Amino acid sequence: MTDAIKIDVWTDIACPWCYIGKRNLENGLAATAADDDAPVVEIEYHSFELSPDTPEDFHGGEVDYLSQHKGISPEQAREMLDRVTGVAAEAGLAYRFDILQHTNTVKAHELLHFAKENGRQLELAELLMSAYFLEGRHVGRDDDLVQLAVEAGLDGDAARDALSSQRYRAAVRADQAQAQEYGIQGVPFFVIDGKYGVSGAQPVEAFTQIARQVWGERREASATADA
Q: What is the pLDDT of residues 124-165, one digit of tens each?
A: 999 999 999 999 999 999 999 999 999 999 999 999 999 999
CATH number given to 5-226: 3.40.30.10
Contact yes or no for 57/140 (Cβ under 8 A): yes
The pLDDT value recorded for residue 206 is: 97
Domains of the chain, by residue range, sit at 5-226
Q: What is the pLDDT of residues 84-132, one digit of tens each?
A: 999 999 999 999 999 999 999 999 999 999 999 999 999 999 999 999 9
Q: For residue 123, count other CB atoms closer than 10 A to its CB.
A: 16
Exposure of 62 in the CB half-sphere (CA atoms within 13 A): 22
| C-alpha to C-alpha distance for 174 and 199, rounded to whole angstroms | 20
Q: Which residue has the higher pLDDT, 195 or 134?
A: 134
pLDDT at 1 over 80: no
Residue 208 pLDDT grade (very low, low, confident, very high; cuts 50, 70, 90): very high
SS3 46: strand
Alpha carbon separation from 95 to 50, 73, 104, 166 (Å, rounded): 19, 21, 19, 30
Average per-residue pLDDT for the chain: 95
HSE of 80, CA atoms in CB hemisphere, 13 A:
16
Within 13 Å and on the Cβ side, how many CA atoms surround 183? Answer: 3
* pLDDT score at 8: 98
**What is the per-residue pLDDT for 218?**
87
Backbone angle region of 217, left / alpha / beta, with phi > 0 → left and psi within -120 to 50 → alpha: alpha
Q: How far is CA 207 from CA 28, 29, 129, 218, in A?
A: 5, 7, 20, 16
Give the per-residue pLDDT at 227.
62
